[in-house]
């Protein structure tokens, strides 16, 4: 069987029915751009270890990041393993591919001074749309989770938020529209306790709101992701703070939480990570000051001698 024919069948029967639309679109793009042009015309029995390794090297030489290359290799590997499982081919060699070493994305967060500057501006201006930034700084919500939040998800009596959905923008009929979807992963569905200092702010915000969504927009579906990212960019520019992506609000929350002494397991659950190892790996550098402080406390024993 020609590999490109199998890839199309694999995507249609074994991927599309079981993943989110965004994930499926990502897989299709990876297959169309990076697998079919190089390997699509091969008979599947001809996909030897050498052929696959040569393809992998070309991907790395094309300038793609190690993480992206590994993601594309995973698509190839999954498709070939399913082919073996179904008897389409007798064996496959994707396990022999030497993968580039993936690197954890650098965590970019705001300094305490920058965070304070952002907070003071929001609290002074009191514009309802801006309070979403404050909420992210103190809950670690992703932008899609924030913009999918409705007042039904907020328990102001018991002080907690239920995260059960997310959203993204999708290009439909010549324009971007807001799509409400499930959370990123099962572990992303969670309940986040709210700092009590946020409750009066949220209660006041709810009194002024006549819409379902916490972060309100012109449409009944609230603010779109791209629009809110641009609002954040404009805020940073106005405050003369160097540009950082919206996700930096989440990273800032995690960093401040570790600085306050929050344990990794608790932080992992609040962030909605699959396990604490992901949190530890991503924010290990943020623990350095805490580690140094602990070491200095141990060092004080020396003073007793």
pLDDT digits (tens, 9 = 90+) for 147-195: 999 999 999 999 999 999 998 887 777 777 788 888 877 878 999 999 9
Architecture of domain 112-290: Orthogonal Bundle (1.10)
- Is residue 106's pLDDT more than 80? no
Confidence of residue 108 (pLDDT cuts 50, 70, 90): confident
Averaged pLDDT, 237-246: 95
Output the pLDDT for position 221: 62
Distance of CA 248 to the CA centre of its chain: 11
Task: Give the C-alpha separation, 295 to 288, whole Å.
Answer: 10
Output the pLDDT for position 209: 85
Output the pLDDT for position 75: 97
- Is residue 105's pLDDT more than 70? no
Output the pLDDT for position 217: 67
Task: Give the C-alpha separation, 144 to 10, whole Å.
Answer: 29
Sequence ranges of the chain with CATH classification 1.10.443.10: 112-290
Output the pLDDT for position 304: 65
Question: Is there a contact between 169 and 178 (Cβ–Cβ < 8 Å)?
Answer: yes
Sequence ranges of the chain with CATH classification 1.10.150.130: 3-96
Output the pLDDT for position 27: 96
pTM score, whole prediction = 0.76
Averaged pLDDT, 77-97: 95
Confidence of residue 282 (pLDDT cuts 50, 70, 90): confident
User: What is 185-236 written as a DSSP string?
Assistant: SGGG-EEEEPPGGGHHHHHHHHHH--SSBSS--SSTT---HHHHHHHHHHHH
Output the pLDDT for position 223: 86
1.10.150.130, 3.40.720.10, 3.30.200.20, 3.90.1150.10: which CATH number matches 3-96?
1.10.150.130
Angle CA 79–12–47, to nearest 5: 25
Averaged pLDDT, 254-262: 89
Return the sign of the alpha-carbon dihedral for residues 244, 250, 252, 254. Answer: negative
Confidence of residue 200 (pLDDT cuts 50, 70, 90): very high
Task: Give the C-alpha separation, 82 to 14, whole Å.
Answer: 9
Question: Is there a contact between 70 and 77 (Cβ–Cβ < 8 Å)?
Answer: no
Token pair in block for residue 73: 């290799």
What's the chain's average pLDDT? 90
Percent pLDDT > 70 in the chain is 95
């Amino acid at each position: 069987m020609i590999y490109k024919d199998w890839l199309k069948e694999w995507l249609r029967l074994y991927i599309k029915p079981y993943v989110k639309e965004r994930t499926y679109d990502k897989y299709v793009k990876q297959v169309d751009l990076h697998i079919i042009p190089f390997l699509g015309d091969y008979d599947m029995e001809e996909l030897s270890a050498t052929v696959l390794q040569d393809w992998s090297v070309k991907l790395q030489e094309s300038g793609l990041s190690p993480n992206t290359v590994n993601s594309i290799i995973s698509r190839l590997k999954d498709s070939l393993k399913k082919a073996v499982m179904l008897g389409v081919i007798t064996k496959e060699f994707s396990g022999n591919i030497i993968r580039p070493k993936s690197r954890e994305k650098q965590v970019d967060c705001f300094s305490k001074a920058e965070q304070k500057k952002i907070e003071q501006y929001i609290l002074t201006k009191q514009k309802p749309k801006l309070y979403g930034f404050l909420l992210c700084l103190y809950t670690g919500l992703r932008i899609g989770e924030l913009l999918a939040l409705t007042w039904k998800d907020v328990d102001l009596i018991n002080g907690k938020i239920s995260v059960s959905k997310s959203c993204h923008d999708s290009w439909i009929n010549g324009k971007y529209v807001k799509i409400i979807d499930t959370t990123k992963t099962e572990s992303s569905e969670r309940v986040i306790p709210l700092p009590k200092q946020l409750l009066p702010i949220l209660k006041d915000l709810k009194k002024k709101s006549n819409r379902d969504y916490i972060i309100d927009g012109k449409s009944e579906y609230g603010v779109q992701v791209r629009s809110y990212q641009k609002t954040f960019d404009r805020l940073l520019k106005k405050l003369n703070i160097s540009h950082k992506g919206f996700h930096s609000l989440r990273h800032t929350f995690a960093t401040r939480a570790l600085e306050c002494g929050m344990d990794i397991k608790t932080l992992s659950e609040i962030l909605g990570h699959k396990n604490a190892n992901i949190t530890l790996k991503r924010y290990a550098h943020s623990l350095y000051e805490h580690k140094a402080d602990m070491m200095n406390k141990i060092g004080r024993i020396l003073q007793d001698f």
